[in-house]
């Protein structure tokens, strides 16, 4: 990666349009022209037992399909202490394959129904894997601590945002909105770590 080249192509390897938009904003300024996978793209199954493993599966598939572009993939999820780390890597399909965000949130709240407020601690985790056209890999991760609320609140964001209250706040990610989330979230921390790595390459 050199400072003289402009607008390198970068494919964000996800079928989630919310993630494409959020990552594009968080990684803005890196001199990349971001694009999403085609609508008919088929992503490989996320069969790893770790966030980095699942992100790598998607990034390697993207690199195979777009060897001349940078590819960036993420895997993220909610880790709830009272549920022994669940939903974890199964966050997107906690309530089963094809589950909606609402299905997953409903099951989470059901599982935590009898859990005292003091024991509803959780954290969001995000791992980003970027693969350059030369095949070199760059891994970054980010976390944000918080608690799981007893009921959804707010209409911004996606996934578990309506029930996750970050540490030091009284409102959920969905209530705080995209601007605050861009500064606080696990994905924001991972994106900053990746920006730092890629920025060093162009220095």
User: What does CATH list as the number for 8-202?
Assistant: 3.90.950.10
pLDDT value of residue 19: 80
Q: One of 40, 68, 75, 103 is an active-site residue; which one?
A: 75
pLDDT value of residue 105: 98
Residue among 66, 29, 50 nearest 141 (CA):
50
Contact 113, 99 (CB under 8 A): no
pLDDT value of residue 43: 84
Burial class (CB in 10 A: 0-12, 13-18, 19+), 117: exposed
Distance CA 179, CA 201 (A): 28
Q: Spell out the domain ranges in the chain.
A: 8-202
pLDDT value of residue 38: 84
101 has catalytic annotation: no
Strand segments (E) across 37-100 = 70-80
How remote is the C-alpha of 123 from its chain's centroid?
A: 12
80 strand-pairing partners? 122
Residue among 188, 163, 159, 187 nearest 175 (CA):
163
Strand 70-80, strand 121-131: pairing:
antiparallel
Q: What is the largest CA-CA distance in the chain?
A: 58
pLDDT value of residue 2: 38
Q: 15: which residues sit within 8 A by CB, 6+ positions away?
A: 37, 41, 43
Return per-residue pLDDT of the chain as tens, 203 residues: 333 345 688 999 987 777 888 888 888 878 888 888 887 888 888 899 999 999 999 999 999 999 999 999 999 999 999 999 999 999 999 999 999 999 999 999 999 999 999 999 999 999 999 999 999 999 999 999 999 999 999 998 889 999 999 999 999 999 998 888 888 999 999 999 999 998 766 54
Write down the pTM of the prediction.
Answer: 0.88
For residue 198, give the 3-state DSSP assignment. Answer: helix
């Amino acid at each position: 990666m050199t400072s003289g080249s402009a607008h390198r192509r970068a494919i964000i390897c996800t079928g989630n349009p919310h993630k494409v938009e959020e990552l594009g904003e968080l990684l803005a300024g890196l001199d990349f022209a971001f694009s999403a996978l085609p609508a008919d793209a088929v992503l490989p199954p996320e069969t790893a037992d770790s966030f980095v493993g699942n992100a790598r599966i998607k990034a390697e598939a993207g690199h195979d399909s777009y060897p001349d572009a940078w590819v960036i993939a993420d895997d993220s999820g909610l880790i709830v202490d009272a549920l022994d780390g669940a939903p974890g890597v199964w966050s997107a399909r906690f309530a089963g394959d094809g589950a909606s965000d609402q299905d997953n949130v409903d099951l989470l709240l059901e599982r935590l129904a009898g859990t005292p407020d003091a024991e509803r601690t959780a954290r969001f985790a995000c791992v980003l894997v970027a693969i350059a056209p030369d095949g070199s890999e760059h891994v970054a991760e980010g976390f944000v601590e918080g608690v799981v609320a007893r009921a959804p609140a707010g209409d911004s964001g996606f996934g578990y945002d309506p029930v996750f209250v970050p540490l030091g706040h009284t409102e959920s990610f969905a209530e705080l909105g995209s601007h605050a989330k861009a500064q606080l979230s696990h994905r924001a921390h991972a994106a900053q770590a990746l920006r730092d790595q890629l920025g060093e390459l162009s220095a």
